[in-house]
Structure 1
Amino acid sequence: MIKQSGTFVLKWQRLFENNERLFWVLHTAGWAGFAVVYYIGSFLHEVRPIFLFIIILNSYAGWILTIPLRYVYRWARNQGPVKLLLTVLAASYAVALLWAVVKNVNYWEIYKHGFRPDAWYMYFTNTIDSMIMIGCWSGLYFGIKNFEMLQREKQNALKASTMAHQAHLKMLRYQLNPHFLFNTLNAISTLILMKNNDTAEAMVSRLSDFLRYSLDNDPIKKVALGQEIKALRLYLEIEKVRFGERLEVVWNIEEDCENAMVPSMILQPIVENAIKHAISKLEHAGKLTIDARRFGNDLLLDVADNGPGADILDGQLSRTGGVGLPNIKERLHALYNRNFAFTVEHNQPQGVRVSVRIPYDVKDI
């Protein structure tokens, strides 16, 4: 039943997307409706089958005669307002007069068997009715066309807004700190000079895998946290070659968080920021703790270090010049609107803790 309903809705969507088909459906339905309403209104005083035949003839004549108006109006819509108004009045008046003649012939020659009324206003009343009907047809035509134009403009504006939104997300996503790449290449160069080729080769391989992941994943789409953690491990393995025993990483990832959907490369800038401003400043062993847990309908992500700390104001770093953390906050706002939290606080006993709260969402398999 649901499948049939979905098919029905899809067919109606296709109907309204095709202007040519939509015109013929509405045009035919309108004149059929005119015939039904006219017959119901006349049923109380006229029940002979011949009268129904006259109504069908009149409706069919109206259906035929108003078709040219479509093409006349289509041309007129590209003209100036004065020319448009004059064209609509002249064309609708001509069609109304012609339809009135056809209706008079049908009524007096077929229904009345050639009888002619003596009162001239009998013909005039028919003409007024025809002009009202053609005027309604013209009004509906322009009303539907204007509605289509407004919908098209709204769709174009929405499309432009979506494209700008996506471009903004990609810009934020690819504003990565180049220091990581420079430091890694320098470390590889040092390893080669020291003839430590095996370690250099492994480092190049990890760097290649990490860069491939960062470039292949669309910043607009989300990835499973488990996939994000794998990329983060590649990054940290590269950094461990640089820092050696000075870098210790502790992972606390709850099992039910592995399939949670997160923005791609959401943790790497946070970790990179911690290494640059915390671990690199320590002479003794630096420690990074990465947590992921579920709390109700939310996913909580934490990255904490034991560095010298930083100045924090209203839950944000007061440090200027950095783009990593501000970009993360902008990306989260673009993806989740207000349904997220991004805070920076002092870690205990020392260091900085960055916390992210986003909706817990698991991709359907």
Structure 2
Amino acid sequence: MIHWQKLFEDKERQFWLLHTCGWIGFALVYYLGSFLHDMRNIWLFVILLNAYAGWLITIPLRYLFRYLWKLEPWLMVLLALASSYVVGALWAVVKNINYWEIYKHGYRPDEWLYYFSNSVDSFSVIVCWSGLYFGIKYYQLLQQEKQNALKASTMAHQAHLKMLRYQLNPHFLFNTLNAISTLVLIKENETANAMVSRLSDFLRYSLDKDPIKRVPLEQEIQAIDLYLDIEKVRFEDRLTVIWDVAPDSRQALVPSLILQPLIENAIKYAIARTEEGGTISIHAKFFGQDLLIEVADNGPGANIVDGQLQRHGGVGLPNIRERLQSLYGNNFSFVIAHNKPSGVKISIRIPYQVGQDANQD
């Protein structure tokens, strides 16, 4: 089975295919146009021989035009017309010889100028061939530029996503290392070792998962469990976590580590700021064609203006919005609101997708 797309991706093969088909088309049109003139096989043979001569004689033009392509436009056009006229005149001579030698059985004209008769018609055909050559080459150049621009845009888009994903709040790492150091000082070596192990697993997950691809929500839950286990060592009984994840939403695809900044914010601004601690609840469910995710806390709340938290220096929440925008366009929502009776509630709506990530190769 011929793969036509691959056939046309090879420019060398594409030229020979179009070049050959073009001259076959010329022979067919010429024969049909002169069908009433002569229906004998000898006339068809002369036409095919002329088309073959045109096929051969225009090949050098291709290599000449490659050089002309690098010149100034006006000079390129002038030299292309001049070379087309020379080739057209030469083709006219070949066609006349074929006509006289084969069709007229060895006829010879009295004047040598007769060899160049019909050169204008031949020149017109060669000019059409040249125009098609430059037109197709220009089209290929435009397509290549579009592909290069698209590739550059895709690479920039991927780099932007990676930058957003890897801008994790360093306070978590610093606080965790300080907590481990404290545990070592007070001889809680077993707890410190468990904390190091969880930190290693969480960091491995965060580095291994490509931020451009999406993962099942189940994997995100496992990573967040590692993160929360680390934080529970720091806050002990002050941190309570409630999971409410519908079974049919666990295989839904979500951006990797999309929940971690939300939970980190809740711990930083709700749990850490109250002596009695607090509760973080994570809900996820499938509704219609969407996956709905909600992260809420019962902390002291925050100042929310036009759906934006009025906090300085934070990059987690703006990064989430940008990542969602990059991955889903306008088909998502990211809402920050007051929780009742107190705290902050963040709701995310994204398309419900399962199976292999559409962004994966």
CA distance in 2, matches of 1:341, 1:109: 80
Correspondence 1:95-134 to 2 at 5 A: 95-115=87-107, 126-134=118-126
Q: With the length of structure 1 as denominator, give the TM-score of the two structures.
A: 0.95
Match of 1:254 in 2: 246
CA distance in 2, matches of 1:328, 1:105: 76
Q: Which SS does the other structure have where 1:281 is aligned?
A: coil
- Structure 2 unaligned spans of 5+: none
Correspondence 1:296-307 to 2 at 5 A: 296-307=288-299
Residue from 171, 175, 182 that aligns with 1:179: 171
Report the Cα offset of residue 251 of structure 1.
Answer: 0.3
Kept in 1: contact 2:46–2:99 (CA 8 A) = yes
CA distance in 2, matches of 1:258, 1:103: 75
**Is 2:354 aligned against 1:359?**
no
**Is 2:85 aligned against 1:93?**
yes
Report the Cα offset of residue 45 of structure 1.
Answer: 2.5
Kept in 1: contact 2:92–2:117 (CA 8 A) = no
Match of 2:192 in 1: 200
Residue from 284, 291, 297 that aligns with 2:276: 284
Residue from 62, 68, 79 that aligns with 2:60: 68
**Is 2:221 aligned against 1:244?**
no
Match of 2:262 in 1: 270
CA distance in 1, matches of 2:317, 2:356: 30
CA distance in 2, matches of 1:110, 1:134: 23
Report the Cα offset of residue 118 of structure 1.
Answer: 7.9
Match of 1:4 in 2: none
Correspondence 1:202-221 to 2 at 5 A: 202-221=194-213
Match of 2:227 in 1: 235
Q: Which SS does the other structure have where 2:354 is aligned?
A: coil
Report the Cα offset of residue 112 of structure 1.
Answer: 1.5
Q: Which amino acid aligns with 1:179?
A: H
**Is 2:317 aligned against 1:325?**
yes
CA distance in 1, matches of 2:163, 2:173: 18
Match of 2:29 in 1: 37
Q: Which SS does the other structure have where 1:220 is aligned?
A: coil
- How many residues align? The count is 357
Kept in 1: contact 2:89–2:116 (CA 8 A) = no
- Structure 1 unaligned spans of 5+: 1-6
Output one character per residue of 1:141-184: Cα deviation in whole Å (capped at 9) or x when no partner.
00010000000000000000011111110111111100000000
Report the Cα offset of residue 364 of structure 1.
Answer: 4.8
CA distance in 1, matches of 2:117, 2:292: 77
Residue from 141, 152, 155 that aligns with 1:163: 155
Structure 1 stretch displaced more, 108-117 or 131-140: 108-117
Residue from 56, 59, 65 that aligns with 2:48: 56
Q: Which SS does the other structure have where 1:278 is aligned?
A: helix
CA distance in 2, matches of 1:182, 1:257: 33
Q: Which amino acid aligns with 1:27?
A: H
Q: Which amino acid aligns with 1:238?
A: I
CA distance in 2, matches of 1:125, 1:362: 72
Q: Which amino acid aligns with 1:38?
A: Y
Match of 1:223 in 2: 215
Residue from 26, 29, 34 that aligns with 2:18: 26
Match of 1:335 in 2: 327
Output one character per residue of 1:309-352: Cα deviation in whole Å (capped at 9) or x when no partner.
00111222122221000000000001001000001111111111
**Is 2:156 aligned against 1:150?**
no
**Is 2:26 aligned against 1:17?**
no
CA distance in 1, matches of 2:93, 2:60: 17
**Is 2:39 aligned against 1:47?**
yes
CA distance in 1, matches of 2:102, 2:287: 81
Report the Cα offset of residue 123 of structure 1.
Answer: 6.0
Q: With the length of structure 2 as denominator, give the TM-score of the two structures.
A: 0.96
Q: Which amino acid aligns with 1:353?
A: K
Q: Which SS does the other structure have where 2:118 is aligned?
A: helix
